Structure 1
Amino acid sequence: MLEWYWVLILIILALVIGGFIGFLITKKIVKKQLKENPPINEAQIRAMYMSMGRKPSESDIKRTMNAVKKGA
């Protein structure tokens, strides 16, 4: 018969392992979602520059996209 402390150790171990596996799965899903649906795209950056009264060059847009990607 299992002692009570072995049952407690098994429960804690199962919770830790389950939490770690859940974290890895969630991390993978979030990365995939961000890759498929980026939070900002070039058209949105272009619209942002235009709303500030400025016509953006392609280098401005690329520089802003790289800054957004580095921050994420």
Structure 2
Amino acid sequence: MSTGGWIGLVIGLGIALFIIGAVLAFFLTKRMFEKQIKENPPITEKMIRAMFLQMGRKPSEAQIKAVMRSMQNAKTKK
């Protein structure tokens, strides 16, 4: 094999490995992000209470649980 052939092989292999690494990194990052969001939801009961109070309402515990349940159902339907 000539020198040009080796250079082409090295460049082609480098590009292929780069693409494989990028795809692998994408899926691993996506999986880690989804796990983080599931473990640490972006909205809490405390935030819902604050939202109700800002609207001028005193929320009952049942209302807060209903909002949390509806958010959980919306998240699992995706």
TM range (shorter): 0.7 to 0.9
User: How far apart, CA to CA, are the structure 2 residues paired with 1:66 and 1:39?
Assistant: 11
The answer for the alignment partner of 2:67 in structure 1 is: 61
Runs of 4+ with deviation above 4 angstroms: none
Which residue identity lines up with residue 24 of structure 2 in the other structure? I
Consecutive unaligned residues of structure 1, counting only runs of 5 or more, are: none
Tell me whether 1:26 sits opposite 2:32 in the alignment.
no
Which residue identity lines up with residue 7 of structure 2 in the other structure? W
TM-score by length of 1: 0.74
The answer for the alignment partner of 1:7 in structure 2 is: 10
SS in 2 for 1:54: coil
SS in 2 for 1:3: helix
TM-score by length of 2: 0.69
Tell me whether 1:50 sits opposite 2:57 in the alignment.
no
Instruction: Give the drift of 1:50.
Output: 0.9
RMSD value, Cα = 2.6
Which residue identity lines up with residue 36 of structure 1 in the other structure? E
Which residue identity lines up with residue 75 of structure 2 in the other structure? K
Percent identity over the alignment is 44
Count residues with an aligned counterpart: 71
Instruction: Give the drift of 1:65.
Output: 2.5
Consecutive unaligned residues of structure 2, counting only runs of 5 or more, are: none
